[in-house]
């Protein structure tokens, strides 16, 4: 078994020796490169010698009897053989030293030129790839810079707006709020009094009491007898309804008595200013215009 392993190692060494330098040889020697016939014959002779050694190793391996595999644990035995082969290969690589394929200077010069051309082509391809990648990265960088500038402008605008709001909030004190509300309340009350005064003047001019209307009429010379009760004006009727609505919104109805002139009551009912109680016709309420 040791002899068979030794032959296997020698065959592997020769195969690796030949394959290691096979790719280093120039595929086609350029016509411009001058190599003598002696150098070509030397290379051919070296290749033939290596090939002959390989054939001898293969023939010796063929005649060696192979070890029969055990019936049990065949896979484990194969794995052990693979481990031994890998260990032998590792030891060969550790003992191996660089070898020169040929001592002929012409052959070495041709191989060196071919390797330089191959390296030059690879470097040109790498340079082209790097330039294309740089161009793509430059384009991405410009797009990202454009987006960053837009975001920075947005941040600046929002920062300026925030500072403006902060300055406004600083000057917006509680006392100023109260003063502003108080001034608005005074204006509203003044406007309310103005509207009530204008409404009273309008009602007094256009809706007088029946006694005043009959006394001022020049066409009717027959005077009606004075009423037995004192009637209230339309202005007072509307004011009573409004005050009742605002003071007791849960019970806004007002009881109609003899002091309310019926024509005025019918008028405000007809024009939708007031509504009767659904169960008591003597009770009246103002229409809820504010709801």
What φ, ψ does residue 52 adopt, rounded to 5°? -65, -40
The pLDDT tens digits for 137-180 are 999 999 999 999 999 999 999 999 999 888 777 666 667 778 88
- Say which residue the tokens 């204006």 belong to: 187
Q: What is the pTM of this model?
A: 0.36
CA dist 188 → 181, 201, 236, 245, 280 (Å): 10, 20, 22, 19, 36
Q: Tens digit of pLDDT per residue, the chain (291 long)? A: 454 455 455 555 545 554 444 444 444 444 445 556 777 777 778 888 888 888 887 787 777 655 665 666 778 878 888 898 888 888 888 877 766 666 777 777 887 888 899 999 999 999 999 999 999 999 999 999 999 999 999 999 999 999 988 877 766 666 777 888 899 999 999 998 898 888 888 888 888 877 654 544 544 544 445 556 788 888 889 889 988 988 888 889 999 998 898 999 999 999 889 999 999 989 999 988 776
In 3D space, the residue among 229, 200, 226 whose CA is nearest the CA of residue 212 turns out to be 226
Of the candidates 220, 222, 260, 228, which has an alpha carbon nearest to the alpha carbon of residue 241?
Answer: 260
How far is it, in rounded angstroms, from Cα 253 to Cα 283? 6
């Amino acid at each position: 078994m040791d002899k068979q392993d030794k032959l296997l190692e020698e065959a592997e060494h020769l195969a690796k020796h030949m394959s290691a330098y096979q790719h280093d040889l120039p595929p086609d020697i350029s016509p411009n490169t001058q190599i003598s016939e002696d150098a070509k014959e030397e290379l051919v002779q070296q290749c033939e010698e290596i090939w002959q050694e390989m054939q001898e190793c293969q023939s010796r391996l063929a005649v060696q009897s192979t070890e029969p595999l055990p019936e049990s644990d065949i896979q484990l035995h194969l794995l052990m053989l693979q481990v031994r082969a890998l260990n032998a290969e590792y030891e060969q690589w550790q003992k191996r030293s660089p070898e020169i394929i040929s001592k002929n200077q012409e052959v070495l010069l041709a191989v060196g030129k071919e390797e330089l051309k191959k390296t030059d082509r690879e470097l040109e391809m790498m340079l082209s790839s790097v330039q294309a990648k740089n161009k793509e990265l430059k384009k991405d960088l410009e797009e990202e810079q454009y987006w960053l500038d837009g975001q920075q402008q947005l941040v600046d605008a929002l920062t300026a707006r925030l500072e403006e709001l902060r300055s406004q909030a600083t000057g917006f004190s509680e006392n100023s709020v109260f003063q502003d509300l108080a001034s608005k309340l005074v204006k509203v009350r003044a406007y309310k009094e103005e509207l009530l005064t204008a409404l009273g003047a309008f009602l007094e001019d256009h809706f007088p009491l029946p006694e005043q209307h009959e006394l001022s009429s020049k066409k009717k010379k027959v005077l009606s007898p004075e009423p037995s009760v004192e009637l209230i004006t339309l202005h007072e009727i509307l004011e009573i309804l409004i005050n009742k609505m605002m003071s007791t919104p849960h019970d806004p109805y007002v009881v109609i008595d003899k002091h309310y002139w019926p024509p005025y009551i019918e008028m405000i009912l007809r024009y939708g200013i007031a509504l009767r109680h659904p169960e008591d016709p003597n009770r009246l309420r103002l229409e809820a215009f504010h709801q």
